[in-house]
Amino acid sequence: MVEENNMDKKKKFFDGIEAEPYNALDKPFDFIEEGGKTALICESGPIVRIKIGNILEEMGYYITEAATAHESLRNMRVHMYQLIVVNESFDTEGTVDNYVLDYIRHLPMNVRRNIFVTMLSVGVRTMDNMAAFAESVNLIINLEDIDDAGAIIERGIADDEGFYSTFKDALKRAGRL
Domain ranges of the chain: 36-173
Taken in order 140, 143, 68, 42, the sign of the CA dihedral is: negative
| pLDDT tens digits, 28-82 | 555 567 778 999 999 999 999 999 999 999 999 999 999 999 999 988 888 889 9
Angle between the N-to-C axes of helices 46-58 and 149-173, in degrees from 0 to 180, rounded to the nearest 10: 60
CATH architecture of the domain with range 36-173: 3-Layer(aba) Sandwich (3.40)
Strands 83-87 and 139-142: unpaired
Range list of β-strands (E), 108-158: 116-121, 139-142
What is the pLDDT at residue 92? 82
- Looking at the chain, the whole-number percentage of residues with pLDDT higher than 70 is 79
Whether 4 shows a pLDDT value over 60: the answer reads no
Collect contacts of 9-14 with beta carbons under 8 A, ≥24 apart.
Answer: 10/99, 10/102, 13/69, 13/70, 13/99, 14/73, 14/99, 14/103
What is the pLDDT at residue 15? 61
Centroid of chain to Cα 42: 8
For residue 110, what pLDDT band results from cuts at 50, 70 and 90? confident
Q: Which residues pair with 62 in a beta bridge?
A: 38
Longest dimension (CA), the chain: 49
What is the pLDDT at residue 33? 72
Whole-model pTM: value is 0.83
Give the integer Cα–Cα distance in Å for 40 and 113: 16
